[in-house]
């Protein structure tokens, strides 16, 4: 029994020392962004049954002869969110991991403190590349198409999120100008203008001038209309077209002979509407308005990340476009991930391979909501950690005392034999 006491005490010292190391590591990382705490699980090395006269006793009729640290288990609870001033800081709401390229090995982390480096690569604070799906809408520093979303590709095809330092938003020439409002019966001449963009991104002006037709044919009212494309100051005229618009006695647009017009070689369709949708002519004040499509060119202002993990390029012309999507990876067993250091992990046989969640149509999705301007702090509970540390230290002391006591008993037994 005295030898058993030695083994019991020694195993207790070892297991409690390992548990203290786990708790100490947790407490040392209480301020580490994205850190996952671990806790210790113990088991008996062996139990010896005790014969008792009372079969109905509620007491555990076994005596343990040692303990061991059975497992060190990841705490998967959510850490506390911290507000930050940077839109490139991301936090995952729920399950999932960010992917990071580190040489030939991919790391996974909950630490979303990302930034754009001098090369416009999305990287971690220690310079590792963030993984995701790039859009196919930039070529040689030019935005080839404006995208509102970029679906995630396959897991094995995720790549560095690397973006051009300079990006040009090409101009989009105006193809249609739309007019609406009232041509007042009390006036004979009414004009309205609309801004238009040519193929080079230069803003010109489209002017419509309505003159009441002579003679008028009842019922209803007719207007002669002249459309003109010109420079904004009106000094240069590029094209002029004319037509007639006729309205019913109720003011509804019945017919329009005004066709399209050229804007320095680019045709523009003139939409005056139909019936009461568009331009009307009734006995009321003038209220003509206009709108047109087309965009002037713009240069890159910068990149931001929205709450969907989409990297958004913003341009000087006020336009935006998605150019990439940050990937969120999932595992069948998150606790099976092997921690490399701090908040960085690698997949293992226990975790299984990384995968993406899918929507009902089978498309890859992040599977969890993201929030920007926030970071997920460590999920270590300081008060619980300090309490556990005291418990393990007391247990360590008790096991140490049991060894000392067993030694004293052994010494006494030997002296009695003498």
pLDDT tens, position by position, 108-165: 999 999 999 988 899 999 999 999 999 999 999 999 999 998 999 999 999 999 999 9
**Tell me: the pLDDT tens digits for 324-358?**
999 999 999 999 999 998 899 999 999 999 999 99
Q: Answer whether residue 57 is part of any domain.
A: no
Q: How far apart are CA 262 and CA 201, in angstroms?
A: 15
Structure tokens at 396: 């360590």
Residue 321: which domain range?
A: 81-169+299-376
Number of domains making up the chain: 3
235 contacts: CB under 8 Å, gap ≥ 6: none
pTM passes above 0.85: no
Q: Are 288 and 197 in the same domain?
A: yes
Q: Answer whether residue 55 is part of any domain.
A: no
Q: Are 287 and 188 in the same domain?
A: yes
3-state SS, residue 284: coil
Q: Are 155 and 180 in the same domain?
A: no
Q: How far apart are CA 241 and CA 261, in angstroms?
A: 6
Instruction: List, as one string, the DSSP characters of 320-371.
Output: EEEEEEE-EEB-S-GGGPEEEETTEEE--TTT---B-EE-TTS-EE--SEEE
Q: Are 112 and 24 in the same domain?
A: no
Buried (b) or exposed (e) across 200-221, using 16+ Cβ within 10 A? Answer: ebbebbbbbbbebbeeeeeeeb
Residue 327 phi, psi (nearest 5): -85, 145
Cβ of 190: how many Cβ atoms within 10 Å? 19
Compute CA distances 14 → 10, 28, 68, 393, 396, whole Å. 6, 21, 8, 12, 9
Structure tokens at 155: 């897991």
Q: Are 253 and 342 in the same domain?
A: no
The dihedral built from the CA positions of residue 84, 89, 92 and 98, taken in this order, carries a sign that is: negative
Q: What is the pLDDT of residue 329?
A: 96
289 contacts: CB under 8 Å, gap ≥ 6: 179, 180, 181, 192
CB 148 within 8 A of CB 261: no
Residue with tokens 């020694």: 10
Please, how many CA atoms are within 13 Å of residue 87, restricted to the half-sphere of its CB? 12
Of 292, 324, 344, the one marking the end of a domain is: 292
Q: Are 68 and 97 in the same domain?
A: no
Distance, C-alpha 218 to centroid of its chain: 63
Q: What is the pLDDT of residue 417?
A: 57
233 contacts: CB under 8 Å, gap ≥ 6: none
Q: Are 275 and 362 in the same domain?
A: no
Q: What is the pLDDT of residue 47?
A: 55
Q: Answer whether residue 113 is part of any domain.
A: yes
Q: Are 198 and 283 in the same domain?
A: yes
Please, how many CA atoms are within 13 Å of residue 130, restricted to the half-sphere of its CB? 35
Q: What is the pLDDT of residue 412?
A: 74
Q: Are 282 and 310 in the same domain?
A: no
Q: How far apart are CA 54 and CA 68, in angstroms?
A: 30
CB 179 within 8 A of CB 270: yes
Q: How far apart are CA 181 and CA 251, in angstroms?
A: 11
CB 183 within 8 A of CB 298: no
- The closest of 126, 48, 50, 115 to 87, measured between CA atoms, is 115
Of 292, 316, 338, the one marking the end of a domain is: 292
- The closest of 173, 147, 360, 148 to 260, measured between CA atoms, is 173
CB 244 within 8 A of CB 216: no
CATH number for the domain that contains residue 203: 2.60.98
Q: How far apart are CA 245 and CA 383, in angstroms?
A: 80
Structure tokens at 262: 């050229």
Structure tokens at 223: 């207007």
Q: What is the pLDDT of residue 43?
A: 62
CB 164 within 8 A of CB 138: yes
Instruction: Check residue 295 and report its DSSP letter.
Output: B
List, in sequence order, every beta strand (DSSP E) within 161-236.
168-169, 176-182, 189-197, 203-212, 221-230
Q: What is the pLDDT of residue 60?
A: 54
What residues in the chain have per-residue pLDDT under 70?
1-13, 16, 42-70, 396-400, 403, 406-408, 413-414, 417-418
Q: Are 147 and 196 in the same domain?
A: no
Of 272, 292, 312, the one marking the end of a domain is: 292
Q: Answer whether residue 159 is part of any domain.
A: yes
């Amino acid at each position: 029994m005295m030898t058993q006491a030695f083994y019991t005490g020694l195993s207790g010292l070892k297991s409690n020392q390992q548990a203290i190391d786990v708790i100490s590591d947790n407490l040392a990382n209480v301020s580490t962004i994205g850190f996952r705490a671990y806790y210790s699980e113990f088991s008996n090395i062996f139990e010896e049954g005790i014969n008792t006269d009372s079969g109905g006793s509620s007491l555990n009729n076994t005596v343990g002869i040692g303990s061991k640290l059975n497992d060190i288990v990841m705490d998967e609870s959510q850490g506390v969110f911290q507000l930050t001033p940077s839109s490139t800081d991301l936090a995952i709401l729920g399950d999932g991991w960010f992917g990071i390229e580190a040489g030939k090995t991919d790391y996974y982390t909950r630490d979303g403190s990302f930034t754009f480096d001098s090369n416009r690569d999305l990287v971690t604070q220690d310079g590792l590349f963030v993984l995701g799906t790039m859009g196919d809408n930039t070529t040689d520093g030019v935005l080839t198409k404006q995208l509102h979303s970029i679906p995630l590709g396959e897991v094995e095809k995720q790549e560095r999120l690397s973006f051009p330092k300079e990006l040009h938003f090409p101009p989009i020439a105006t193809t249609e100008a739309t007019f609406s409002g009232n041509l007042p019966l009390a006036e004979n001449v009414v004009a309205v203008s609309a801004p238009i963009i040519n193929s080079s991104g230069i803003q010109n002006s489209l002017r419509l001038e309505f003159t009441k037709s002579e003679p008028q044919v009842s019922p209803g009212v007719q207007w002669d209309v002249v459309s003109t494309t010109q420079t904004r100051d009106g000094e240069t005229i590029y094209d002029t077209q004319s037509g007639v618009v006729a309205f019913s006695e109720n003011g509804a647009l019945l017919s329009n002979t005004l066709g399209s017009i050229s804007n320095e070689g680019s045709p523009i369709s003139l939409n005056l509407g139909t019936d009461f949708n568009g331009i009307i002519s009734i006995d009321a004040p003038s209220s003509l308005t206009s709108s047109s499509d087309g965009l002037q060119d713009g240069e890159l202002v910068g990149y931001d990340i929205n709450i969907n993990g989409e990297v958004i390029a913003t341009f000087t012309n006020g336009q935006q476009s998605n150019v990439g999507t940050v990937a969120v990876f999932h595992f069948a067993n998150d606790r099976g991930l092997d921690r490399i250091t701090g908040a960085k992990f690698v997949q293992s046989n226990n975790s299984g391979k990384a995968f993406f969640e899918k929507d009902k149509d089978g498309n890859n999705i992040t599977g969890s909501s993201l929030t920007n301007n926030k970071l997920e702090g460590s999920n270590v509970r300081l008060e619980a950690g300090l309490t556990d540390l005291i418990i393990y230290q007391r247990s360590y002391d008790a096991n140490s005392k049991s060894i000392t006591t067993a030694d004293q008993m052994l010494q006494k037994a030997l002296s009695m034999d003498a």
